[in-house]
Amino acid sequence: MELHEFIRALPKAELHLHIEGSLEPELMFEMAQRNGVKLPYANVEETRAAYAFTDLQSFLDIYYAGAAALIHERDFHDLAMAYFYRAKVDGVVHTEIFFDPQTHTARGLAFETVLDGLERACQEAQSQLGISSRLILCFLRHLPEEDAFRTLEQAVPHLSRIHGVGLDSSEKGHPPAKFQRVFAKCRELGLHLVAHAGEEGPADYIRDAVDLLHVERIDHGVRVTDDPALVERLAKEKIPFTVCPLSNLKLRVFPDLSTHSLKRMLGAGLRVTINSDDPAYFGGYIGQNYLETAKALKLSKNELVTIARNSLLGSFVTDAERAPWLAKLEAVAKSA
């Protein structure tokens, strides 16, 4: 079996996917046209040409501009369905999707417009494609904590449809401590907790996300290798890391994939997973992330099985939901 076929056959969970980051330029223009929204680029080609990033902020500026095409419930539904079709092709059985309500409510959209559209797509993905999913609301860390509290208030009537909260956007200068109170409130509400940490920011932010925010997973966390004691501790604690190699490459966290810390993290016993982050902007969905990383870091099939297994173990599903996926994974591993 060729490597890409083996990767596709592995049942996997995608645990780090920003739904707004799966908006392909073609769909962006289609929506902008039907919604009468003016985009900063003349056409699809010009848009793709602008996707030459130098760091996280240079990406975020373009990513927030693109989200302006999303206006109606239908747009959020169509966006998520387009992602689910791509995920199906890559052998994703389960996904925990990030969404950024503040990006949309700041433009005057109702919180419910966003949630209703995404939720309808999640149900359709289950019934039509057999993909299960959960929604994770991310707070934008460049905004004040009071804004996060206001967003949480909007979310509270809908907590049966929101599984957890996360923290994203500009990392440097916006440490986990800034959001300690709102995360404590989310914890009281019984929400699952995750946070981006150690993408561009220091390893200290990873420790603070765990110790101050009590997150159950670290998103990115690739700078953990700067702190060997922290690596040892988080390996012991089995904290999952949702690593996104093509994102790190495009945002110049590493100069090339062969220098990525993923293999060292895996070798140190950390619960590493592979994910796509913002696939429409970074040149590949989850399968491409597995494939290019496997080639650059010379990952064995065994290591790829471990990564896929980590994604199933790191997901927020029940053991009963997880069991058939794990069984299938072990069968694929044996057949390799």
Which residues form the interface with ligand ADE (CB under 6 A)? 18, 21, 56, 63, 168-169, 196, 199, 247, 277-278
Q: Is 199 a catalytic residue?
A: yes
Nearest residue (CB) to ligand ADE, 27 versus 140: 140
Q: Does 14 bind Zn ion (CB under 5 A)?
A: no
**Residue 56 binds which entry of Zn ion, ligand ADE, none, with Cβ cut-offs from 5 to 8 Å by kind?**
ligand ADE
Nearest residue (CB) to ligand ADE, 81 versus 140: 140
Among the listed ranges 46-54, 73-81, 155-163, 273-281, the one in contact with Zn ion (CB under 5 A) is 273-281
3-state secondary structure of 13: strand
Nearest residue (CB) to ligand ADE, 104 versus 196: 196
Q: Does 171 bind Zn ion (CB under 5 A)?
A: no
Nearest residue (CB) to Zn ion, 151 versus 275: 275
Gap between the Cα atoms of 277 and 77, Å rounded = 19
Shortest distance (Å) from residue 303 CB to Zn ion: 23
Nearest residue (CB) to Zn ion, 78 versus 277: 277
Q: Does 277 bind Zn ion (CB under 5 A)?
A: yes
**Residue 179 binds which entry of Zn ion, ligand ADE, none, with Cβ cut-offs from 5 to 8 Å by kind?**
none
Alpha-carbon Rg of the chain, whole angstroms?
A: 19
Shortest distance (Å) from residue 103 CB to ligand ADE: 9
3-state secondary structure of 93: strand
Structure tokens at 256: 């090339």
Q: Which of 24, 96, 171, 199 is catalytic?
A: 199
Of all residues in the shown chain, the one whose CB is closest to ligand ADE is 168
**Residue 169 binds which entry of Zn ion, ligand ADE, none, with Cβ cut-offs from 5 to 8 Å by kind?**
ligand ADE
Shortest distance (Å) from residue 63 CB to ligand ADE: 6
DSSP secondary structure string for all residues of 42-71: SSHHHHHHT---SSHHHHHHHHHHHGGG--
Shortest distance (Å) from residue 248 CB to ligand ADE: 9
Dihedral (Cα; 198, 255, 22, 62), 10-degree rounding: 90
DSSP secondary structure string for all residues of 24-38: -HHHHHHHHHHHTPP
Q: For the stretch 108-130, what's the b/e string if a residue is b when 16 or more beta carbons lie within 10 angstroms of its beta carbon?
A: ebebebbbbbbbbbbeebeeeee
Gap between the Cα atoms of 212 and 207, Å rounded = 8
User: At 144, phi and psi to the nearest 5?
Assistant: -65, 160
**Residue 199 binds which entry of ligand ADE, Zn ion, none, with Cβ cut-offs from 5 to 8 Å by kind?**
ligand ADE
Residue type, 27: L
Under rule CB under 5 A, how many of the chain's residues touch Zn ion? 1
286 closest CA partner among 126, 83, 142 = 83
Catalytic positions, written as ranges? 199
List residues near Zn ion by CB under 5 A: 277
